Amino acid sequence: MSQNSLSRRAFLGRTGAAAAGLAFGGSALAACSSSSATKTAGGKAVLNVMIDNVDTDQAFAPALKAFQAANDCVVKVSKFDQVKLNAALAAGSPPDLVRTNGAAEMPNIIARGLAENLDPYFAKSQYFKSDDLDPIIGVYKFDGKTQGKGSIYGIPSDYSQDAMIWYRTDMLDAAKIPHPSTTDPMSYDEYLTIGKQLTKRSGGKTQVYGFDPVWGFDNQAHLMQMIAQQGGSLWNDDFTKADFTTSEARKALQWYIDWGKARTGPGPLDQESNWDGPVYDADRIAIVSYGYWFSQEILGQDAGANSAKLQQVSVFAPAPQFGSTRVDACMSGSGAWIPAKAANKDLAFKFLEAWRGSGTDGAKAHFAQGGGLPLCLSNRKYLPQNTPFTSATYATQMNNVKYLSVLKFSPYAAGSAMEAALNTALTGAVQGGASLDATVSSLQAAVNGIIDSGKAQLGA
């Protein structure tokens, strides 16, 4: 064998050492693969925006073009992707702006030190004045312990009181059911009763669902609201414990189990291949619990040829109540935050101003479509009121907004983890017939584990 040749054993040994060495430097490779360019070849700044549809929103297109021209930059838009975001954050090269579902996610994101404190930017902003900000900004505030107080870490794109009701007058009239009031709320039990009357089945198929409180859409927030309406609270003062054993929590959980078994809406026993919007557009839901933003679904392309009819027969009403305390919270308030390690923070905040700031073209174009309520009170005048449907919807919303509250979520529990725990427990109860006690017990154990993990990660 030649003296210069490499023996197989030596080769395998060196290869193994190389693999082990490279494995410990794996994060460096991740950084290479996930870093985003911050400058174009021509030297223009590149603003990386991980928010869905910013580049395809026709209404925002002129404002986007003007923003790029005014700031000599290129806005590179990517769809929100949790996996890519995780990789980018771990590698230290995150996008400049990131979409969030809002309420349940922000405390956890802020507590992990991922989000930039925007107080200095707000202090200088010409488009976000402190006396013009809707109380919804509380969703993006955090003082280190409690959501709703302290510094600002993001903004909502828009918001709604997400448990409000949309009902079909034609379906209620056909069943001879009186229309719910557009100013005074009904109870969850009343809606469930009506829902059972309105649900139509034939041959084992559900043709029309009577009432859907939108199972799967921020279950944690819905539960927290139902408990608050009874005067209770799911979380303790420092958000280190969620108590599902209280009478208020048990009552709310039992209601969901009863609703699931009644099969008045898509749920554990009745599955749909799509979310409630297309199902509502297809005349298959009589009462659905969505906020002001759902008017855009009725007005928009998804409703198609049915839009005109839907506008005539859809009425907006206050959220149902589960107790004597009127609580009508925003459960999401999806928006955007600037990562602490973003490369272009100043430019990112300017984008937020152009996107949703007071009186900007971007804000005018967005709110004219009725997709939700604005962060800036001065932008409310752009909300549509030019048809009977939009003016009636606007009136109901403005009458109801005084009951808006900001729910407070725990920084130790990721929103997705809480949703997973709730969904698993309640599905087991509805499908498998587990008792309420067993459901509460399993849910409590799961959530305790989630909180313990979160506290360990945050060093609490």
User: Taking CB under 8 A as the criterion, which residues in 91-110 touch other proteins?
Assistant: 109
Are 411 and 105 in contact, with CB atoms under 8 Å apart? no
Q: Is 301 in the site for other proteins (CB under 8 A)?
A: no
Interaction between residue 305 and other proteins (CB under 8 A): no
CB of 28 to other proteins, least distance (A): 11
Q: What are the structure tokens assigned to 17, written together?
A: 């050492």
Segment 409 to 438, residues that bind other proteins, using CB under 8 A? 414, 416-417, 419-420, 423-424, 427, 431-432
- Tokens for 81, please give them: 């992707």
Angle (deg, nearest 10), helices 219-229 and 247-262: 130
Question: Of 132, 190, 243, 270, which lies in the binding site for other proteins, with binding defined by CB under 8 A?
Answer: 270
Can you tell me which of 3, 5, 58, 126 binds other proteins, judged by CB under 8 A? 5
Site residues (CB under 8 A) for other proteins, limited to 169-208: 203-207
Q: Under the criterion CB under 8 A, does residue 243 sit at the interface with other proteins? A: no
Q: Report how far apart, in Å, the C-alpha atoms of 20 and of each of 6, 11, 13, 17, 147 are.
A: 20, 14, 11, 5, 43
- Assess 383 for contact with other proteins (CB under 8 A): no
**Tokens, residue 208:** 């029309």
Instruction: Please report whether residue 124 would count as binding other proteins according to CB under 8 A.
Output: no
- Determine if 22 is a binding residue for other proteins (CB under 8 A): yes
Which of 69, 128, 96, 66 lies closest to 365, judged by CA?
66
Pick one of 3, 8, 43, 126: the residue that binds other proteins (CB under 8 A): 8
In three-state secondary structure terms, 383 is: coil
Residue type, 260: G
What is the closest distance, in whole angstroms, from the C-beta atom of residue 239 to other proteins in the complex?
17
Is 353 a binder of other proteins (CB under 8 A)? no
Q: Does residue 24 touch other proteins according to CB under 8 A?
A: yes
Is residue 12 within the footprint of other proteins (CB under 8 A)? no
Which CB, 232 or 266, lies closer to other proteins? 266
DSSP state for residue 133 in the 8-state scheme: B
Length of the chain: 460
- In three-state secondary structure terms, 424 is helix
8 backbone dihedrals φ, ψ, rounded to 5°? -65, -40
In the bound state with other proteins, the residue whose beta carbon lies nearer, of 323 and 335, is 335
Positions in 306-325 near other proteins (CB under 8 A): none
Residue with tokens 């089945």: 201
Are the C-beta atoms of residues 45 and 347 closer than 8 Å to each other?
yes
The 3-state DSSP class for residue 175 equals coil
Task: Report how far residue 357's alpha carbon sits from residue 430's, in angstroms, rounded to the nearest whole number.
Answer: 45
Q: Using the rule CB under 8 A, is 271 a contact of other proteins?
A: yes
Least distance between other proteins and beta carbon 397 (Å): 16
Q: Which is nearer to other proteins, 157 or 358 (CB)?
A: 157
Work out how close the CB of 215 gets to other proteins at its nearest, in angstroms, rounded to a whole number: 6
| 122/293 with CB nearer other proteins | 293
The answer to whether 3 contacts other proteins (rule: CB under 8 A) is no
Which has the closest alpha carbon to 180: 163, 199, 167?
Answer: 167
